[in-house]
Structure formats: structure tokens, C-alpha cells
Chains A and B, each alone.
Chain A
Amino acid sequence: MTAVVQSTAVADPTGTVRGTGPVTATSTATVVDLAATSVRELNAALHDQADPTRNWIITHPAGRHNIAVGIDRDVTLRVDGHVGYFFAGMHQKGEVTVHGNAGQGLAENIMSGRVHVTGDASQSAAATGHGGLVVVEGNASARCGISMKGVDIVVGGNVGHMSAFMAQAGRMVVCGDAGENLGDSVYEARLYVRGQVASLGSDCVEKPMRQEHLAELAELLVSAGRDEDPADFRRYGSARTLYHFHSDNADAY
């Protein structure tokens, strides 16, 4: 891979990304052109704990799948273009940004760190995520946050149907609208929606927005670089009626 990697001066490696946190103080980045380097080589380099590179720029992603999966170190990575399935899957520690759209299973099972997409994300974004923050500036489609287990998700636009299905823990913030069956069979995750909710799924109910919720929502919005007013959101969560098998719930099973 060394043959196609070049060091280059980058004035601002986070570019013009809206809402990224503080810009890491650095002036160089390693550029990997996926038109010339395979995803496998890129991932192997990202996994190499001995590799001193801290800042990465990925060009010509061309919607390829499994880019930047399994990162487990403090790197900053920027992708210029669209990515396919499972971008930043099982992400840990680092901070990665896509300037474009992301395919199915964005940041699935993320553990920590931050994944940011400036465009749209396809279905199952942040599925089963255990921790960290996933920000989608555009829309996320169906099943956003499915089975989430502690991840925080902030979506600037809308989320599709069955979002937060069986969501176990973590927080999901939707600045736009939510599709049908939001939070079906939700466990202890907290859901905040600013726009319309097409319908709530089984066992998901609207809950009062108390001071603690306004505070955590404000913190999430700030960390995602957004300026919506927490007071405009409504909160949803589990009615906890499906926590135990009961014949009266037969319609919901």
C-alpha cells in the first residue's frame, strides 16, 4: 500500500463538515485513494497499532462496502464521497466522517468514538451500537438504531419506519420526522423526536420531558453540532408492558 499512499498538507482535515467537534490540531494526513488501493489494504493499515498515522483522508470510495471497519485507535478519518454497507462497522475510539451518503448498517455495533455522515444513511444505521456517537446530517432510513445498546444517535433529518426497534439502551435524537412504528418493543433507550411521528410501535409511549431530559438532549445536540431547541422535542420510551410474557399481550407478540 505504501506505493499509493502519500502524505500531503491539509489545512483543515475536517474540512467544512457541519457539526464536527473541535478540529484536531494537525496539519498532515495520509491520503488513501481507493481507486488504487483495496479496502482490505486500507483496513489492515488502520488496524495496525504500530502505524503512527493519526489523520487519514480516503478518496474515491465509490460506494465500496466495509470501509474503515474495526478501527480501534485514536485516528481521524475523512472520506470524500459515498460509502457502501457497514461503513465504520464495530467502530472504537476514532473519529470518522463521510462527506457523502452511507449505505446499509452504518457504524453497526459501534462501541465508542464518533461516526459522522454529512449526507443520508441507509437502513439500520448504528444497529446494535453499544456506545459512541453517530451523527447523520441528512435522513436515516428504516430501522435506524435497531437493537441499540447504548449508542447515541443524532439524525438531522428524518428516520424511516421501525426505527429504534427493540432499542435496549442509549439515546436517539431525530430532528425531523419519524416513520411508522417508532420504538417498537423498545426497552430502556430514550427517543427524542422534533417533528411528526407517523406512529408508535408496540409498547412505545410518549413520556414527559423533564429537566434531566432537556439537559441530556441539549448536550447531545451540542455534541452533534446542531442548533435545534431542546424544547421543541418530544420524548418517547418503553411502557414496559411487554417485559414479561402475558396472554393479554398476545396481539403484540
Chain B
Amino acid sequence: MCGIAALQITNPALRPQLGSLLNTMLCEVIERGPDSAGIAVYDNPALTDPDTTVLSLLGGEQALSPAGLASALERELPEAEVTVEVLGDTTFVSGQASSTELTAALETVLPGRDIIGRGRHVAVMKGVGNPRDVAEHHGLTSMTGTRGVAHTRMATESAVTAAGSHPFSVADDLCLVHNGSFSNHATIRRDLERQGVVFDSDNDSEVAARYLATRLTAGEELESALEHLGTVFDGFYTLVVTTRDGMAVVRDPISCKPAVVAVTDDWVAMASEFRALADLPGIDHAHVFEPEPGRVYTWRA
């Protein structure tokens, strides 16, 4: 139960404003989810680099200092140059390795970390408390980027923790946020667990993220994977999925949970309420609509 704000910028001239635009959108959906928040930003050169994998770790303070963590990881990954940067409540670990290798090294050096984001394009930040503060701690307004998604959460059946916050980023450069409530996620979770999938939280939305990641990793296209999701998951949902090169929106066949999309030549945006879109540049001339039930919408950057 929450608020969603997502923005994908196609016009390069607007990309420096991604963070400030997303922050404005986020602030308009705070009332929908005051417990906690999460934000994903794609292609912010300060945090990500296409030649390097970045892991986003929950918590600004780790058992090792940033420099200590970096050198410990470099001992595990002699080929890689590792950097560790702390921003607000999140620690970013970067290195020239695959996310699997980097994750394994991290698990050796600092076991039990919550990895909330991974990939070469996306940085994920989460925190408990007022979403406005979470965004401010991470300096969202000054971030540049190609797309971003922000989520404010009112926890329903799982705990109010940063780990339970959206987005769920469980495969490289894949993020999923959800507003609503699935009604058969426990069974799907068990099916995935039997296939060897490991979960980080008890959140129903993570099940959707893992399901999607499994299909995408097997080589399926995003559109097709989301259509399959619609045949497997029951309940009420508005989902936003972001990848390294695009963004998708899908609602369940009943579509009670709110969603508004606005599209211009410069950007595509989605939010739980129109108010979050109202200040975007050129909104007066945007094509504004509410996604139809059960239909998968995708936009490539």
C-alpha cells in the first residue's frame, strides 16, 4: 500500500534534472506511504559507470570503514579495482567484476549484508521514516540520470524495515515497485524457493521481483515476462518495472489501485496520483491516461 513515482527521460538535455524532478514527484505521494521509502536512479555518473558493477548496500555505516571494505574486497577480487562510497543510509560498492562475483566477495568479507541494488546502471537507496528525509539524506535533488523510480510505503502484512521497502532490485539493473496486495504470493514464493531462488524479505512484492528476474534471466523479453506475471499472480497490483534501457507499467485486471501515466517527447512518467505529475515540464501538453487493466505498457529509453 503505497505511493509510486517513476520518470524516464528521453531528452538528454533534461537528464541533469532527473533527481530534482523525481524528488518533486516523490514529495507528492508521501501521504500514501509515510513508513519508509526507496529510490532507484539509473545512469547517474556519480554512482554508476557502465564498465563497473555497483552493489547498493543497506546502511551507511558498515562494520568496516569504506577504505577497509574496499581493500578487503580487492583482496578477494585481485583483478578488480574496488571503490566504496557512502551516501546517506546507503553504501555503494563498485568494482570491475560481475555482480555475482562482487556479491560473493562481499559475503565473505561482510556476511549478511542487505544488497538492495545491483548492476551497472542503477543505484538504489532506501530508508525508514519520512520519504522526504530519505531523499534528502541521499541528495536526490542533485542527481542526474536517465530514469528513476521512487516508492513510499505503508506496510501491509510485512515489517516496516528498510529491507522491506521498494524498489526490489534482485537482478542486474532490474527494479520493481508495487502498490496493492497479491493474494497468492506465498505459493509462488514456495515454487520459486523450490527452484533455488533465495529471498531477502517477507514482502509480497519481492516475490514478483524474483519471479520477473527468473524469467528475464532465462532470456525472456520484459513484455512477455510481465504478461506471464499477470497469468500467475492474483490480487491487486500496480507495478512499475525499470531496466537498463526501459520502463514498464502494468495493472491487474480489476485495477483498483491508482496509476496515472503521462507521456511527452521528452519523458514518460507514472505516478499514483496526477498531483505528482503536475509540475513536470511540458505536462500541459502531455498525453495523460490511466493504464488499462491487464495491459503491459513499456517504454524504451
Contact = CB atoms under 8 A, between A and B. Distances in A.
A130 interface: no
A141 B255 CA distance: 11
Given A63-B28, A122-B260, A123-B258, A142 B274 contact: no
Interface in B253-301: 254-256, 258, 260, 273-276, 278, 288-290, 292-293
A101 B261 CA distance: 13
Contact of A82 (B31, B274, B289): B274
A13 interface: no
Given A84-B274, A179-B292, 15 more contacts: A63-B274, A63-B275, A64-B275, A101-B274, A101-B288, A103-B275, A120-B288, A122-B258, A122-B273, A122-B274, A123-B255, A123-B290, A141-B289, A161-B255, A180-B293
B239 to A, nearest CB: 17
Interface of A: 62-65, 81-82, 84-85, 101, 103-104, 120, 122-123, 139, 141-142, 160-162, 179-180
Contacts of A179: 292
Interface of B: 28, 31, 254-256, 258, 260, 273-276, 278, 288-290, 292-293
Nearest to A158: B289
Contacts of A162: 254
- Secondary structure at the A interface, as helix, strand, loop or mixed, is loop
A82 B256 CA distance: 21
B290 A103 contact: no
A142 B290 CA distance: 8
Contact of B274 (A103, A139, A180): A103
Contacts of B292: 160-161, 179
Give the top 9 A-B pairs by smallest Cβ distance, nearest first.
A63-B275, A141-B290, A82-B278, A101-B274, A161-B293, A84-B275, A63-B278, A103-B273, A82-B274
B278 A62 contact: yes
Contact of B273 (A84, A120, A139, A161): A84
